[in-house]
Amino acid sequence: MSAMDASQDPAAEHVARHAAEPPARAAEKAAAKVPATAWISWVALAMMTTSSVASLRAAPTMAVYGLACVFLYLLPAVVFLLPTSLVSAELASGWKGGVYNWVARGISKPMGFLAVWCQFAMTIFYYPSLLGFVASTLAYVFNPALASSGVWTACVIIVVYWSGVWVSSRGTKGVAGLASGGLIIGTLIPGVVLVVLGTVFLGQGNESAAPMTADHIFPAWAGLASLVLIVNNFLSYSGMEMNAVHVSSLRNPAKEFPKSMFLAMGMVLLIFILPALAISWVVPADQLSLTAGVMQAFDAVFANFGTQWLTPIVGIMLVTASLGGMLTWLAGPSKGLLLISRQEGYLPPFLQRLNKNGVQQNILVVQGIVTTAIGLMYALIPNVSSAYWIFSVITTQVYLIMYLLMFVAAVGLRRKYPDHPRGFRSPMLKSLCGIGFGASLAALLVGFIPPSQFGGANPVVYVVIVVVGALGLGLLVPYLFYRARKPSWKQEAAAEEVTPE
């Protein structure tokens, strides 16, 4: 989730200017303008995509399924990751401005605002879930018993988030450098160590905590609730529309982009599946914490080899990578929402103000107040894992609304502007959009069903929290902003900031 370059394409004359020109020739001319130093290889793009998508944070969520996690990762990769990657590549190579411009042109401006709002609003619940993972990981550095403490988790969320706001509001540079090494420091090295030691653990004759036989390839069916955890995998794969903006930097997008995406999919699946399996070998599902499961597995494996002193070191590595990503993303989606709102007047002037460092501090502060309230819920909900899962589901629900709009807009743009120059044309676009839309809608609906792992919890409370969080924040709040907008909220000077090059 990097910052969205919120902008609009030039007006209708831009399309008319290219209407008489063959699309292939127009694409060649556009590519000729890219300087030689700007080309990137398809392998490099695959690595960039992998680093922005892959993480160990979701591993405990799927480890509870044991061998079935392979199926539960492959299914959303085929019906969601692949359609999202190919469709967003066509949109990014044809229209600058990110999801707002795609949806505004493909559907309408109000729907464009809804899409960019959802892209921003999902972070309100994303940060509490991310920092919930950070809190549980930090617990293993100080005292593992704190991992199940809601008060500890709430304190870490509030302190770390506001520290991030303070850093971001000062316009600090160089934070991206911390996140750029996250793939190696906080994902690849710990992931490889976990898988290797887990394999050695089994090789020593220890029995796997989860059955690894062929009859466990598919998850046990106990009604819809048994498959609810798969919804979290849609969020694991989200963000591909951001990486699609680099499609124009490939020498031969039509051939190289699909190769890049398939390579990235393979690497992402390995990073997701193998650590999840390793955790399921070591930690029994009924003892697994959705927030501290990674550290539980490391602690158990290191204890087996008499190297438990390494547990805090791995914890620091994971926390460093997570915090680097949080700081990098903190101001990104809010900056995109700010630019569009200044141009179209979607937010009141108070939320459009910048501080002396040019940072949208007021948006970050308001977001922080809501995040603090959500963080306090960790102290009120008895089970930290339940709170973590609820916030992860709400994050996914809100983001899926944006994807539903994106798939509809892609079909609309292909129909409205069939000859508009595109650096990449997605094959079977309508079919891909249909599959992606159907999968996203199904995941959104399933997310309202309490998972079977929370058998003792009150399902009514779960549903109410998810409905209020997802539909209230994702639909009601942007509707109220849109209805309350005034012409005086527009800042014409901002138009230059969002005009594409």
With contact defined as beta carbons under 8 Å apart, do 95 and 500 qualify? no
d(CA 294, CA 314): 10
Q: Report the predicted TM-score, pTM, of the whole model to 2 decimal places.
A: 0.76
C-alpha 167: how far from its chain's center?
Answer: 22
Give the pLDDT confidence score for residue 417 in this predicted structure.
93
What pLDDT, in 10s, does the model give residues 363-375?
888 888 988 888 8
Question: Nearest CA to 229 among 77, 454, 460?
Answer: 454
d(CA 369, CA 378): 15
Give the pLDDT confidence score for residue 434 in this predicted structure.
96
Looking at residues 402-428, what average pLDDT do you find? 92
pLDDT tier for residue 232 given thresholds of 50, 70 and 90: low
With contact defined as beta carbons under 8 Å apart, do 261 and 85 qualify? yes
The full 3-state SS of 427-488, as one line of letters, equals CCHHHHHHHHHHHHHHHHHHCCCCCHHHCCCCHHHHHHHHHHHHHHHHHHHHHHHHHHCCHH
Question: Nearest CA to 93 among 490, 417, 388?
Answer: 417
Residue 30 pLDDT > 70, yes or no? no
Looking at residues 2-10, what average pLDDT do you find? 36
Locate 373 and state its tokens.
């309230």
Residue 259 burial class via C-beta count within 10 angstroms: exposed 0-12, middle 13-18, buried 19 and up: middle
Looking at residues 431-455, what average pLDDT do you find? 83
Locate 455 and state its tokens.
């058998």
Task: Please name the residues in contact with 229: beta carbons below 8 A apart, sequence gap of 6 or more.
Answer: 61, 62, 64, 65, 72, 389, 451, 453
What is the number of other CB atoms lying within 10 angstroms of the CB of residue 133?
Answer: 27
Residue 22 counted as domain residue: no
Residue 116 counted as domain residue: yes
Looking at residues 208-221, what average pLDDT do you find? 81
Locate 357 and state its tokens.
């460092």
Give the pLDDT confidence score for residue 500 in this predicted structure.
36
d(CA 136, CA 311): 13
C-alpha 337: how far from its chain's center?
Answer: 17
What pLDDT, in 10s, does the model give residues 238-290?
777 766 667 777 888 877 878 887 888 888 889 899 999 998 998 888 887 76
What pLDDT, in 10s, does the model give residues 145-157?
888 888 888 899 8
Domain span at residue 400 reads 42-242+252-485
With contact defined as beta carbons under 8 Å apart, do 101 and 420 qualify? no
Looking at residues 116-145, what average pLDDT do you find? 85
Residue 20 pLDDT > 70, yes or no? no
Low-confidence winner among 55-69, 166-180, 311-325, 449-463 (lowest mean pLDDT):
166-180
Looking at residues 356-364, what average pLDDT do you find? 80
Give the pLDDT confidence score for residue 196 in this predicted structure.
92
d(CA 100, CA 92): 11
Residue 480 counted as domain residue: yes
Query: What average pLDDT does the structure give for the chain?
Result: 78
With contact defined as beta carbons under 8 Å apart, do 332 and 363 qualify? no
Residue 181 counted as domain residue: yes
Residue 103 pLDDT > 90, yes or no? yes
Looking at residues 404-414, what average pLDDT do you find? 96
Question: Nearest CA to 212 among 52, 70, 319?
Answer: 70
Residue 349 pLDDT > 70, yes or no? yes
Give the pLDDT confidence score for residue 181 in this predicted structure.
61
Residue 29 counted as domain residue: no
Residue 490 counted as domain residue: no
Residue 365 counted as domain residue: yes
What pLDDT, in 10s, does the model give residues 297-329?
888 888 888 888 988 998 888 888 777 767 766
Give the pLDDT confidence score for residue 322 in this predicted structure.
79
Question: Nearest CA to 331 among 92, 167, 129?
Answer: 167
- Which H or E element spans position 366? helix 361-380
CATH classification of the domain holding 347: 1.20.1740.10
Give the pLDDT confidence score for residue 9 in this predicted structure.
36
- Our count of domains for the chain comes to 1
Residue 33 counted as domain residue: no
Residue 491 pLDDT > 60, yes or no? yes
Residue 492 pLDDT > 60, yes or no? no
Looking at residues 93-99, what average pLDDT do you find? 81
The answer for 207, left when phi > 0, alpha when psi is -120 to 50, beta otherwise, is beta
Looking at residues 119-126, what average pLDDT do you find? 82
Give the pLDDT confidence score for residue 226 in this predicted structure.
57
